[in-house]
Structures are given as structure tokens and as C-alpha cells.
Amino acid sequence: MNRVAVDVDTGYFVAQGSKELFGGFLERSEIQIRGDPVISASKELAEHQSGLPGSISLLQNCPTLRSA
């Protein structure tokens, strides 16, 4: 198999990220996430876990994550 799917629950990601970084839950409107580093890290993790480096293309459809 040469395919990988990574599904990120953005609500959970934002909630747990705010809890970890700020000690509590923040509203989505209070958080700005630089999407490029998050997407890059997700891609690297998928490539590492799958053993398919350099072959992962991403479909992005997330209004919460913004490109820099």
C-alpha cells in the first residue's frame, strides 16, 4: 500500500493546543495558528510513520489554519 490518510479534528487540535500552551481552553476566535508549520509537521510525521518519504501530497480544507 502506498497511500496515507491523515485526518485532523481541528476543533480538538485547537482545544488541546490552547490547553497545553495557555493552561485552559480558548475560543477559536482567540487563537491564530500558522498553518504552514502545522501542515509541514503533519506531513513529516505521516512520511515517517508510513515509510513513504517525499510522496505525501496534502488536501487542505481548514479555515482555522491560515498560511503565513
Predicted local distance difference test score (pLDDT) of residue 34 = 80
Residue ranges of domains in the chain: 10-66
List pLDDT tens digits, range 14-55. 888 889 989 998 888 888 878 788 888 888 888 888 887 776
**Do 66 and 35 meet the contact criterion of CB atoms below 8 Å apart?**
yes
Q: Quick check: helix, strand or coil at residue 53?
A: coil
> What pLDDT shows up at residue 23?
92
3-class secondary structure, 54: coil
Please report, for residues 42, 49, 54, 55, the alpha-carbon distance to residue 1 in angstroms, rounded to integers and kept in the order given: 19, 13, 15, 12
58 pLDDT higher than 70: no
**pTM (predicted TM-score):** 0.59
State residue 63's pLDDT score. Answer: 56
How many CB atoms within 10 Å of residue 32? Answer: 10
